[in-house]
């Protein structure tokens, strides 16, 4: 069972000093992965907890690529439909190149209506645009000469495509995972529901002669009673989770360090 942690890119926890300290603590604790969220336009009436301050997810990972050396770096999840496909593919390839192949691309269709209005993209088109962007990413990473709007171009650098994990709930996320993803990334799943959905995903992957998808679950792992957490971890593992990512609203780098040290000590 792999273990990861979510890094806050919002609010007072998103200073340069804090994210550097947190990334260093996660790597020092021996965790497998570090994940960042994605929002680009928070409306004033929905800014509780962040104050509207958000760092860009891919830019933050490009920065952390140069300050870490082992831990994998992921988005959980990058909202694809309001990002232009070609510039996004270029940034993804750049981060993957600079981090030495440690990038892991969690993707989602988004939900916040205000963000779609801010970028001028109809929210109703988010599913179609997500699929189109995923197909474009696969095309770019599969060949040196790609094409956009009828124009061939050299997609270089072209490192190995980062693994793609589709966020969201069944059934749409499962379908998208089978079409475009290497794994599924649900949030806070109930074990009975997770077991049912993972079983369906694996059966359909085998029928399509595809590798068994990874299942990365975002959840809370820190508690006062280690035994209770270990039971929860065992339940999620038995339900099909292959990796757990701890997410919390830690107030500062010291609190974050205590949480990752707790996970490294009590969770396996």
The C-alpha atoms of residue 179 and residue 202 are separated, in whole angstroms, by 13
Domain residue limits at 36: 2-266
Q: Which two tokens stand for residue 115?
A: 């963000």
Radius of gyration for the chain, computed over Cα atoms and rounded to the nearest angstrom: 18
Q: For position 83, what pLDDT does the model report?
A: 96
Q: What angle do CA 158, 162, 163 make, to 5 degrees?
A: 150
Q: How many residues does the chain have?
A: 268
- Structure confidence by residue, pLDDT tens digits, 28-49: 999 999 999 999 999 999 999 9
The C-alpha atoms of residue 142 and residue 145 are separated, in whole angstroms, by 9
The domain spanning residue 244 has which CATH number? 3.20.20.30
The C-alpha atoms of residue 1 and residue 32 are separated, in whole angstroms, by 10
Question: pTM of the entire structure?
Answer: 0.96
User: Beta-carbon neighbour count of residue 66 at 10 Å?
Assistant: 9
What is the number of structural domains in the chain?
A: 1
Distances (CA, A) of 96 to 127, 167, 199, 235, 238: 25, 20, 31, 33, 32
The C-alpha atoms of residue 7 and residue 22 are separated, in whole angstroms, by 7
Residue by residue, DSSP assigns 12-57 as GGGSHHHHHHHHHHHHHTT-SEEEE---S---GGG-TTTTT-B--H
Q: For position 17, what pLDDT does the model report?
A: 98
User: Beta partners for 175?
Assistant: none
- Parallel, antiparallel or unpaired: strands 183-185 and 214-219: parallel
Q: What's the gap between Cα 99 and its chain centre?
A: 16
Residue of 74, 79, 66 lying closest to 31 (CA atoms): 74
Q: Encode the chain (268 residues) as per-residue pLDDT tens digits.
A: 899 999 999 999 999 999 999 999 999 999 999 999 999 999 999 999 999 999 999 999 999 999 999 999 999 999 999 999 999 999 999 999 999 999 999 999 999 999 999 999 999 999 999 999 999 999 999 999 999 999 999 999 999 999 999 999 999 999 999 999 999 999 987 899 999 999 999 999 999 999 999 999 999 999 889 999 999 999 999 999 999 999 999 999 999 999 999 999 999 7
């Amino acid at each position: 069972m792999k273990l990861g942690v979510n890094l806050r890119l919002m609010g007072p926890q998103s200073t340069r000093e804090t994210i550097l300290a947190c990334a260093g603590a996660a790597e020092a604790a021996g965790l497998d992965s570090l994940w960042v969220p994605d929002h680009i336009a928070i409306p004033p009436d929905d800014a509780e907890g962040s104050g509207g301050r958000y760092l860009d997810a891919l830019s933050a990972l490009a920065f952390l690529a140069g300050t870490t050396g082992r831990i994998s770096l992921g988005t959980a999840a990058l909202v694809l439909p309001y990002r232009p496909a070609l510039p996004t593919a270029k940034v993804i390839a750049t981060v993957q190149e600079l981090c030495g192949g440690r990038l892991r691309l969690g993707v989602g269709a988004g939900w916040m209506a205000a963000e779609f209005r801010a970028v001028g993209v109809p929210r109703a088109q988010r599913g179609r645009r997500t699929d189109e962007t995923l197909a474009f990413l696969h095309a770019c990473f599969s060949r040196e000469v790609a094409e956009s709007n009828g124009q061939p171009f050299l997609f270089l650098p072209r490192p190995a495509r980062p693994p793609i994990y589709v966020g969201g709930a069944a059934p749409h996320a499962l379908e998208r995972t089978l079409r475009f993803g290497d794994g599924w990334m649900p949030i806070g799943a109930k074990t009975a529901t997770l077991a049912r959905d993972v079983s369906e995903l694996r059966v359909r992957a085998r029928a399509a002669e595809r590798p068994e998808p990874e299942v990365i679950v975002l959840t809370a792992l820190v508690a006062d009673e280690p035994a209770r957490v270990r039971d929860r971890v065992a339940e999620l593992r038995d339900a099909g989770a292959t990796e757990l990512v701890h997410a919390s609203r830690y107030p500062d780098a010291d609190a974050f360090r205590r949480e990752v040290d707790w996970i490294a000590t009590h969770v396996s």
